[in-house]
Amino acid sequence: MQKVLTIIGARPQFIKASVVSRAIQQTDGVEETILHTGQHFDQNMSEVFFDQLGIPKPDVQLDIHGGNHGEMTGRMLIEIERALLENKPDRVLVYGDTNSTLAGALAAAKLHIPVAHVEAGLRSFNMQMPEEINRILTDQISDLLFCPTDIAVDNLIKEGFAHKSAKVFQVGDVMQDAAILFSKKATVPTNFSLPDGFVLATLHRAENTDSPTRLASIVNALNYIHSEIAPVVLPLHPRTRKLIAEQQITLDVHLVEPVGYLEMLWLLDHAGLVLTDSGGVQKEAFFFHKACVTMRDQTEWVELVESGANELVGADADMILQAAHKNYGRTVADDSQIYGGGLAAGKLVGQIIKASTVAI
Ligand code: UD1
Ligand code: UDP
């Protein structure tokens, strides 16, 4: 029996892990232990996803959050190493590009425990982003790299992975597995009564929220879109809530608390436009055939921009407004299944089993 220890800690990782965890449960010869770092900890940023998506309760629950990047990552490294020494897994599984991802991969690699990275190979080519640092370093110390797209594979090839012993697989995107699996259970948020066609917005990335100029510019654009185009529904990330309160910025849109995944799927399905700086939400807009306007300077999901499904506009208020006008109500098609059509989790668990057989 191969013992896999999954390390998760942030909202998008719970969603990604939910489908992989199911695939592990349906596969003989592998069992999973789940470690939650505690990076996200509010009920609506963590527990709700375990409840809604049927993720097993974490076997190891750390309580590490807040502080600067070094402090958070360092504290995680210490505690994860301890948990790995105790649990002695055959493999560690990490997701995406958060501080929890890097701390988990580093703790495992230093103990010579092989690491599988789900969402490998994504690049924004912007080293100012904490996510870019986390994903590049995690890829370097993983031995199984599960890429969601062809472009992610190309990125790794350009970085020399064709000549390394690590194995690179294009398995598709586990987020599409999750969207397909759970969309049947999509649920209208409590007390939500707006008609269809609202603009669904999310905003939390450090490059936007930590720059007072970018934050003010985006908020201006959101306020204008809300009054002139269609109501803007914004489930507000705690990071953004804090910064907006600190800077006393007036955000005059339909604000809601962060919602569960089933409610988010409902909102995506009923929106007239998606406006976001999230990685995951850019693809989910596409899964629900909605045009997306992305308030960032780069995206790792370049195929969406190249196909015209996503318009990348940065944080300039005029650019955001123009793109919102242009894209509102526009639908997009997913003809070529660029994210694999919902089969990623099964494929990657299959490769994990195969890798352990080869190692024996
Ligand atoms: C993290 C990831 C980011 C990812 C995002 C998903 C890193 C470097 N960043 O950003 O890549 O897109 O998660 O949502 O790992 N907070 C709460 N309650 C919570 C969670 C967070 O109050 O449940 C507060 C924290 O205390 C902190 C702030 O929000 O003050 C930011 O949290 P943090 O985990 O550092 O980064 P995110 O912005 O969530
Ligand atoms: N999400 C959610 N509730 C919300 C906002 C987002 O369930 O209120 C989901 C969203 O549908 C996607 C994931 O969280 O699946 C994206 O997480 P986030 O935007 O926090 O991080 P990123 O993808 O940018 O790393």
Residue 320, Cα to own-chain centre: how many angstroms? 22
CA of 61 to the centre of ligand 2 (A): 21
Ligand 2 close to Cβ of residue 284 (< 6 A):
yes
* 14, HSE (Cβ side, Cα atoms, 13 Å): 27
Cα 297 from Cα 277, distance rounded (Å): 10
The predicted structure's pLDDT at residue 358: 60
pLDDT in tens, the chain (360 residues): 999 999 999 999 999 999 999 999 999 999 999 999 999 999 999 999 999 999 999 999 999 999 999 999 999 999 999 999 999 999 999 999 999 999 999 999 999 999 999 999 999 999 999 999 999 999 999 999 999 999 999 999 999 999 999 999 999 999 999 999 999 999 999 999 999 999 999 999 999 999 999 999 999 999 999 999 999 999 999 999 999 999 999 999 999 999 999 999 999 999 999 999 999 999 999 999 999 999 999 999 999 999 999 999 999 999 999 999 999 999 999 888 999 999 999 999 999 999 987 654
| DSSP 8-class letter at 40 | S
Could you write out the DSSP letters of every residue in 269-295? Answer: HH-SEEEE--HHHHHHHHHTTB-EEE-
What domains lie within the chain, and their CATH numbers? 2-172+343-359 (3.40.50.2000), 187-327 (3.40.50.2000)
92, 113 Cβ separation under 8 angstroms? yes
Active centre residues (catalytic): 204
CA of 102 to the centre of ligand 1 (A): 14
Ligand 2 close to Cβ of residue 15 (< 6 A):
yes
Instruction: Identify the residues whose C-beta falls under 6 Å from ligand 1.
Output: 10-12, 39-42, 45, 65-66, 97-99, 130-131, 204, 238-239, 242
Could you write out the DSSP letters of every residue in 88-138? Answer: --SEEEEETTSHHHHHHHHHHHHTT--EEEETTT---S-TTSHHHHHHHHH
Name the residue at shortest CA distance from atom 12 of ligand 2: 280
At 278, list the tokens: 């999230």
- 13, 36, 39, 49: residue to mutate for ligand 1 pocket, most atoms within 8 A of CB: 39
Phi/psi at 22 (nearest 5 deg)? -60, -45
Cα 193 from Cα 196, distance rounded (Å): 9
- 98, 203, 277: residue to mutate for ligand 1 pocket, most atoms within 8 A of CB: 98
The predicted structure's pLDDT at residue 159: 98
The predicted structure's pLDDT at residue 6: 98
SS3 311: strand
Question: For residues 279-302, b (16+ Cβ closer than 10 Å) or e, as one string?
Answer: bbbbbbbbbbebbbbbbbbbbbbb
206, 129 Cβ separation under 8 angstroms? yes
Name the residue at shortest CA distance from atom 19 of ligand 2: 278
